[in-house]
Structure 1
Amino acid sequence: MKSSYLLLKPIVDKLHRLNTAVQKNLDKAYMSIHSKDYVASMILYSSIASIIVAFILTFGSTTGMEPLHSISSILIGMVADPLSSMGLKPIAAYTLALIVWMVIVSTIVFTILYLYPVYVSSEASRRLESDLIYTLGYMSILYTAGIPVERIFSSLAMVGDAYNIRSSALNVVKSVEFLGRDILDALNEEADRTRSRAYQAFLRGMSTVVRSGGDLKNYMIGFSERVFSRYRDSIEDLTEALDFLSEFYLTLFIVMPIVIVVVA
């Protein structure tokens, strides 16, 4: 990716808003890549994809190789035929059709690469939330043993893979130990970074409790109970949905055929 940026540096450096948006997505996905390197790769890969599709369509439409010839002719015709009917010369319509498909493919690849960090961060948040109840229990045990908040996150950074929270804990540890930030500021920064609303609420509440000198143990226990209650409600909703589907299946595929046979 570094080589992509060196190749496209004059272009990438001018895309300030895109770089900012991409960096935000990369941070939320805990991807250790600079936005300019990633944007350069987005531009390069989408350009390569457009060139490849132009080559494939040109090769396919000018040779008799099936099914490539049929597919290429159909795709080119979808754009070229309406242009030809408007009075455009065949070669011009063909060229414009190639350009249109190059732009379409390039846009698709560019969009996929742009959204990839969003997908990664969403998956990470989903996994984090699924194990949040266990993470809170682990943190409660450590805090009850007299371990300070900083050390709790250091411990999570070491064992966090089991709870899908290692990347988040590492960020907090780096902010405190390497950047010299206060633990409360580090917690708030991590709350801004994560896409998990439950984890975000927990971090902000934890920061508030520590700042106000409240009982952090009771806060963790209370938050754990709320998370557990939410899990229980979601399981009950899933159970009700499965009950409905099973009844629908029985009615549609077992009872209805019997009724039809009896009536007939």
Structure 2
Amino acid sequence: MKSEEKKEKEPFHALAYRVLGEKIEALIPHVEDLRIALRKAGIPISLRAYASMMVFTSIVVFIAMSTTISTMLYAAVHNVYAIMAGIGIGLLAGAGTFWGLYLYPSIKASSRGRKLDSSLPYVVSLMAILASAGIPPERIFRSLIYADAKLHIQDEAREIVRDIEIFGKDVITVLSERAMYSPSKLLRDLYEGLISTARSGGDLRRYLYSQARMFMRMKRVMMRKSLESLAMLAEIYVALLIAMPLVFSIMLAVMSTLGGGPINPVMTLRVLTYLAIPLLSIVFLILLDSTMPREA
């Protein structure tokens, strides 16, 4: 019964690796950069297993899309070109899936780095308070495991404590390794500063307090820039998606009463209303989402 339950709960990447296994060895050198990206993204999957999942998922998507699209097109037009078109669409879908899975670890690492950068002033302030109480670095990182989930530091602290307590590594070695795979440049700089302070016998409390003040200043500057960007985007939105459609609507209404000339005012107004404005709104929302910080 237990072996059956284990088989039912087998992760998808493990299934892909079991199916493909050594068949993708030739691919590994071409995706070697994913090894660091997976570590930075916090994805606990080996490079070979993830590469197997990429190939396996792409094949599944290709087969599913080719079969579905070819069947639908052939039923509609009864032509052999429909099957070829379905295969072509399936190839595009499979290639898009492979490329998307290839980019996913980097995107997740970037998102994780932004969250860490946003919460770092509060994390370092907490570390400075603990250091001022005479708590050693090992226990400081253990305390961070139980910090507020909004600080996004629990996974980092958990891996540091694991390496120290289970694998028996010293703090300097662990911080050096974490700095190498940290998705946040600010956190990487903090680790390197902690290493330098420990090696030189410096005052840990003073270093953490100075870093906390510096990170807080950087956060204030970043929030000020975000507000300025938001004000600029608001002006663009009013001009592009409120004022300009009104002006065009009035112009087209006047043109329709005067005959319109070579331009069809009604068709142009429909394109503006049902296509241009929604597309511009989607582009604006994507721009706003990528510009504004998600964390306060």
- For Structure 1 versus Structure 2, the TM-score category normalised by the shorter chain is 0.7 to 0.9
Cα distance in structure 2, aligned partners of 1:21 and 1:102: 27
| Structure 2 match to 1:30 | 42
Mapped pair 1:15 → 2:27: yes
Letter in 2 for 1:50: F
Cα distance in structure 2, aligned partners of 1:113 and 1:4: 14
CA RMSD of aligned residues (A): 2.7
| Structure 1 match to 2:229 | 241
Identify if the C-alpha distance between structure 1 residues 160 and 247 changes in structure 2 by more than 3 Å, giving closer, same or farther.
closer
Cα distance in structure 1, aligned partners of 2:148 and 2:37: 22
Mapped pair 1:4 → 2:12: no
- Identical aligned pairs, as a percentage? 27
Cα distance in structure 2, aligned partners of 1:229 and 1:114: 36
Cα distance in structure 2, aligned partners of 1:246 and 1:21: 39
Give the C-alpha shift of residue 165 in structure 1. 0.6
Which ranges in structure 1 are unaligned for 5 or more consecutive residues? 74-89, 258-264
CA contact (8 A) 2:109 2:183 kept: yes
Mapped pair 1:163 → 2:175: no
| Structure 1 match to 2:118 | 130
CA contact (8 A) 2:73 2:83 kept: no
**1:94-151: per-residue Cα shift (whole Å, max 9, x none)?**
6654443333211110111122222222221111111111101110111111110011
Give the C-alpha shift of residue 13 in structure 1. 3.4
Give the C-alpha shift of residue 173 in structure 1. 1.1
| Structure 1 match to 2:184 | 196
| Structure 1 match to 2:73 | 61
**1:205-233: per-residue Cα shift (whole Å, max 9, x none)?**
11111111111111111111111111111
Give the C-alpha shift of residue 183 in structure 1. 0.5
Cα distance in structure 2, aligned partners of 1:12 and 1:22: 15
| Structure 2 match to 1:108 | 96
SS in 1 for 2:45: coil
Mapped pair 1:147 → 2:165: no
CA contact (8 A) 2:198 2:204 kept: yes
CA contact (8 A) 1:160 1:169 kept: no
Identify if the C-alpha distance between structure 1 residues 119 and 249 changes in structure 2 by more than 3 Å, giving closer, same or farther.
closer
SS in 1 for 2:147: helix
| Structure 2 match to 1:42 | 54
Cα distance in structure 2, aligned partners of 1:146 and 1:198: 24
SS in 2 for 1:159: coil
Cα distance in structure 2, aligned partners of 1:6 and 1:210: 45
SS in 2 for 1:131: helix
TM-score by length of 1: 0.78
CA contact (8 A) 1:19 1:36 kept: no
Give the C-alpha shift of residue 9 in structure 1. 0.8
Cα distance in structure 1, aligned partners of 2:82 and 2:238: 56
Cα distance in structure 2, aligned partners of 1:6 and 1:248: 53
Give the C-alpha shift of residue 234 in structure 1. 1.7
Cα distance in structure 2, aligned partners of 1:131 and 1:124: 11
Q: Which of 220, 223, 228 pairs up with 1:232?
A: 220
Cα distance in structure 2, aligned partners of 1:245 and 1:35: 41
Query: What is the count of residue pairs matched by the alignment?
Result: 232
TM-score by length of 2: 0.70
SS in 1 for 2:183: coil
CA contact (8 A) 2:73 2:82 kept: no
Identify if the C-alpha distance between structure 1 residues 61 and 97 changes in structure 2 by more than 3 Å, giving closer, same or farther.
closer
